Amino acid sequence: MGQANPTQLQSDIISLLACALSLVLFPISLSISIAAYAIAFVRGTLLSHRPLAHHNETVLITGARASKALVLTRAFRRAGHRVVLADERGPYSSLFCPARWSASADAFVLLPDPAVDPDGYAHALEEAVEGERVTAFVPASTGGASIDDARVGDRLRTLLRHVEVWIPTEDVVRALHEKDTFMALCAELGEDVGVDVPASKVVTSVDAALAFLAGCKEGGEYLLKSADFGADDAIRAGQTLLPLRTTAATRAYLVRAGLHANSGRRYVLQRFIRGREICVHTLVAHGELRAFVCCPSSDLVLRYQTVEQVDERLGVLAERWVQAFLERFRHVRGDEAASKLSGHLSFDFIYDEVEDKMYAIECNPRAHSAVTLLASRGRELADCYFNPSYPTGAVLKPRRTEPAHIWLAHSLPYALARSFLSARHHPTLSAQHDENAWTELAWSPLPHESLLSVLTSRDAQWDEDDPIPWFVLAHLHAPYLLLRSVFTRHGWARFNVSTSRFFFLS
Ligand SMILES: *[C@@H]1O[C@H](CO)[C@@H](O)[C@H](O)[C@H]1NC(C)=O
Ligand SMILES: *[C@@H]1O[C@H](CO)[C@@H](O)[C@H](O)[C@H]1NC(C)=O
């Protein structure tokens, strides 16, 4: 969706309208939550009342603000494990953080921001592991903390051997985390073995990029991407195909994108593949695939649906790719390295219809929100991590009939805004549909979806045995962050409610 950005004023108005809506619906949501809480309480199904299992783990989960952390917390608690949640100190982890109100978490730990104080972050995590007698470390943080989490994982592996670490080693996380090193790793695993990635070239200067593009064959179309994590929101949104018509125009674009020799950043020119994008969440244990979720994707996913319900073949090809990757990893890096390959690996793929081939375009070594589709698997999801006799080769997937998951806190305001406002009020409301019906599958509400169908959709935050976080997200957390954006004059273009992440106007 390459629309223009809203102005600060538009952003403020939308924020205030969303808060007003939240206020109006407050009594209704509160009644629903209290009723659900009372029913769970009486039936004894409230997650906080579940007895601990005889073989219980104490699990430390980071990234508490995101729904994916909540999904894991609930699954572990259902299976009778104790869960300690952690998140970085800041507005997202304030008292209004939904997970703080979850009946499934036994403790909440605040951490320093790893970008500012990486040593303090690592230290605080290690302290939490010792203080809370943690037996399993399951990071679910945002990408900014992946390397720090992996470093803590490595220290735990050597210092506290009884702690199970659910993130790969730091060197592997580093290789997976950035686009150029991931491409290099896939190349190392071998060609023509099923781990396909699009042709790409690392460039660090405008001249090198121009030289490469000049040599590319007729019709070769490339995308410029930053190889460094999190740096390319601006260029990614544009999706400009290179080379442009004239060398001068291409040069101007490259300069504008920040590609100059002394920027210290690395860029990749990646062959553009026209096709359907899918995102994949996996859980890998000692190099073996344990859980797999695959969904239609776009650049902002707020509706998760299993890809198999739309096109079975895409799920098959993506799973085959991941299995080939794991098999080759063991073969090339050896059993010792493979035995430490545990944790969440999320992949983005593009399916090239002409070649009938799945290409991986990036890997994120962390949990993906698509894990929400496994929520209804309950304790089976926990067993993937902690059942010592988990059957070899078994891969947990969402139920075939699993409905799409949305976040009502996003979809309801958006559906109303779409009915009563237009692109004049906010550019994301433009009537122009994406020409690509595929990416619309990842957006909620769907283009012609009625308000009733939104209201009856499956909410990713909802759990009848733990209803309060759902209420807190819609009526405390989101309004608090939106009001904050108004008062601190930080306008935003998009708000990812699943991860509490804003795309601020620059
Ligand atoms: C939890 O696990 C510990 C150690 O494995 C065990 O001693 C304790 O009895 C378990 N708790 C329950 C309630 O079974
Ligand atoms: C929003 O969060 C989801 C869940 O982590 C993620 O899949 C998606 O890519 C995020 N969107 C953006 C634009 O960051």
What CATH number is given to the structural domain containing 123?
3.40.50.720
Top-ranked range on mean pLDDT: pick from 212-216, 237-241, 353-357: 353-357
Q: 54 in ligand 1 pocket by Cβ < 6 Å?
A: yes
With a pLDDT cut of 70, the percent of the chain lying above it is: 94
Q: 56 in ligand 1 pocket by Cβ < 6 Å?
A: yes
Q: 369 in ligand 2 pocket by Cβ < 6 Å?
A: yes
Mutate to test the pocket of ligand 1, among 49, 50, 52, 82 (most ligand atoms within 8 A of CB): 52
Q: Are residues 61 and 163 in the same domain?
A: yes
497 compared with 163, residue with greater pLDDT: 163
pLDDT of residue 2: 46
Q: Which atom of ligand 2 is nearest to 66's Cα? A: 5
Mutate to test the pocket of ligand 1, among 50, 54, 81, 133 (most ligand atoms within 8 A of CB): 54
Task: Give the residue from 79, 134, 168, 160 showing the smallest Cα distance to 386.
Answer: 79
Query: For residue 327, is pLDDT > 90?
Result: yes
pLDDT band at 266 (very low <50, low <70, confident <90, very high): confident
Say whether 95 sits in a helix, a strand or coil: coil
Q: Is the separation of the CB atoms in 463 and 375 below 8 Å? A: yes
* Average pLDDT of the segment spanning 64-82: 96
Tell me how many domains the chain contains. 4
Q: 337 in ligand 1 pocket by Cβ < 6 Å?
A: no
Q: Is residue 494 part of a domain?
A: yes
Q: Is residue 323 part of a domain?
A: yes
pLDDT band at 218 (very low <50, low <70, confident <90, very high): low
Q: Are residues 316 and 183 in the same domain?
A: yes
Q: Are residues 278 and 220 in the same domain?
A: no
Task: Give the residue from 441, 435, 413, 437 showing the smallest Cα distance to 426.
Answer: 413
Query: For residue 219, is pLDDT > 90?
Result: no
Tell me which residue has its CA closest to atom 5 in ligand 2. 369
* Average pLDDT of the segment spanning 340-363: 94
Tens digits of residue pLDDT in 116-127: 999 999 999 999
pLDDT of residue 315: 96
Which ranges constitute the DSSP H helices of 89-189?
Answer: 118-131, 146-159, 170-177, 179-189
Q: Is residue 399 part of a domain?
A: no
* Average pLDDT of the segment spanning 374-392: 94
pLDDT band at 3 (very low <50, low <70, confident <90, very high): low
244 compared with 110, residue with greater pLDDT: 110
Q: Are residues 178 and 317 in the same domain?
A: yes
Q: Is residue 395 part of a domain?
A: no
Report DSSP state, residue 246.
S
CA distance 277 to 352: 9
Q: Is residue 348 part of a domain?
A: yes
pLDDT of residue 114: 94
Q: Are residues 185 and 149 in the same domain?
A: no
Q: Is residue 237 part of a domain?
A: yes
Q: Are residues 179 and 304 in the same domain?
A: yes
Tell me which residue has its CA closest to atom 1 in ligand 2. 496
* Average pLDDT of the segment spanning 63-79: 96
pLDDT of residue 29: 97
Q: Are residues 115 and 54 in the same domain?
A: yes
88 compared with 205, residue with greater pLDDT: 88
CATH number of the domain that residue 239 is part of: 3.30.1490
CA distance 355 to 159: 48
* Average pLDDT of the segment spanning 355-362: 93
Query: For residue 26, is pLDDT > 90?
Result: yes
Q: 50 in ligand 1 pocket by Cβ < 6 Å?
A: no
Task: Give the residue from 245, 397, 408 showing the smallest Cα distance to 322.
Answer: 397
* Average pLDDT of the segment spanning 467-490: 94
pLDDT band at 442 (very low <50, low <70, confident <90, very high): confident
pLDDT band at 436 (very low <50, low <70, confident <90, very high): low
Residue 69: both structure tokens together = 């952390």
Q: Which atom of ligand 2 is nearest to 299's Cα? A: 13
pLDDT band at 279 (very low <50, low <70, confident <90, very high): very high
What is the span of the domain harbouring residue 279?
173-194+274-386
pLDDT of residue 67: 95
| Strands, sheet with 288-296, edge to edge from the N-terminal-most edge strand | 288-296, 276-285, 343-352, 357-364
Q: Which of 185-199, 237-251, 482-496 has the lowest mean pLDDT?
A: 237-251
pLDDT of residue 247: 84
Q: Is residue 332 part of a domain?
A: yes
pLDDT of residue 318: 97
